[in-house]
Amino acid sequence: MYHSWMRYFTPGPVHHRLGLVCLGVGLQHGALPPVGPRVLDHHVAVVIGAGGGWYRTPDGRTHPVTAPALIWLVPGVPHHYGAGPGAGWDESFVDFSGSAVAAYTELGYIGSGHPVVPLADTTAARAAVGRIARAARRGNPLLEVETAAAVHELLVALRRARTDTADAPGATDPVLRALARDAFLPLSVTQHAARHGMTPAELRSAVRRGAGCSPKDYLLGIRLGRAKELLAATELPVAAVARRVGYDDPAYFSRLFTRRVGTAPVRFRQCCGRAVPGGWSNEIPDPEHPPVIESRPSA
């Protein structure tokens, strides 16, 4: 015996411009019948929360699936899988597509070189699936947007829960943590690698695996984010901001900032500045300790 609930959607052209669209959602458990062999034209994330089963690759090899686990079904690749005998498994699935899939794949959120991915926990992923299921009620005018937002959330939850990544629950990535700590030092990628006893190629592989980008882009994102904070919250000259975030040449910093942000540092400050003369604090916000906004009872 098994239980199955599923819904499928057909988002319109304007919803596809959101980047990701949800095409279907399902919640199933028990001795479910096997799926496939078949080929799809879109992605599916199959989250196994309890129990176990099997997955068969196109070359005929069978791999065990033990919860908690994730099965990636990708377009154009034959797949064949099923729950094990007896109690079967607890499964939830989300079908999705969109232009943002390519970026998520490049960043390492979708796919990992193997269709079966062990997870540390499925709580956050199942919560995202639950939001899709609740949005799937008949007549919901926000259906496509709500479900699209939840697919983004699901991909983040699955990426965080993977046991083959350094940021799985309970784990830390010492390389990314050290790079973030040293991001404002005027060091090249080669020099950063040497500080960690790594070759530049090893550092690139580690950062790509952990953050889905190159060391240069990872450091640049941290530097430009801090530069924006300094420009918006202080009256420091642009040259001083450049030095604070690791650039001795303010002209180079201004060109880099303009190219990546889309506006010059001075123009960014004019548009986004939040410095209030005579305000209650002259301290630059610490990104590691954001303030807590407490709600006050209404009068």
Q: What gap in Å lies between CA 220 and CA 225, rounded to an integer?
A: 8
107-144 pLDDT tens trace = 889 976 789 999 999 999 999 999 999 999 888 999 99
Q: What gap in Å lies between CA 92 and CA 13, rounded to an integer?
A: 27
Please report which helix (H) or strand (E) contains residue 157, including its range. Answer: helix 143-161
Phi, psi of 71, deg, nearest 5: -115, 120
Nearest to 114 by CA among 71, 156, 152, 145: 71
> Quick one: pLDDT at residue 204?
87
- The whole-number average pLDDT for the span 62-91 is 93
> Quick one: pLDDT at residue 280?
44
Structure confidence at residue 296 as a pLDDT band (50, 70, 90):
low
Taken in order 9, 14, 15, 17, the sign of the CA dihedral is positive
- Measured N-to-C along each axis, helices 123-135 and 143-161 cross at an angle, to the nearest 10 degrees, of 170
> Quick one: pLDDT at residue 106?
87
Count of CB atoms within 10 A of residue 173's CB?
Answer: 18
158-211 pLDDT tens trace = 998 988 654 444 334 788 888 888 889 888 889 988 988 889 898 888 888 777
Q: Which CATH number fits domain 2-161: 2.60.120.620, 1.25.40.10, 3.40.50.450, 2.60.120.280?
A: 2.60.120.280
249-285 pLDDT tens trace = 999 999 999 999 999 999 999 888 765 554 444 455 5
Residues of the chain with CATH 1.10.10.60: 174-272
Residues in CB range of 101: below 8 A, 6 or more apart = 20, 43, 110
> Quick one: pLDDT at residue 279?
46
DSSP assignment letter at 38: E
Q: What gap in Å lies between CA 263 and CA 157, rounded to an integer?
A: 33
Residue 58 three-state SS: coil
Q: What gap in Å lies between CA 46 and CA 158, rounded to an integer?
A: 11
Residues of the chain with CATH 2.60.120.280: 2-161
Q: Class for domain 174-272, per CATH?
A: mainly alpha
> Quick one: pLDDT at residue 294?
62
In the chain, what percentage of residues exceed pLDDT 90? Answer: 58
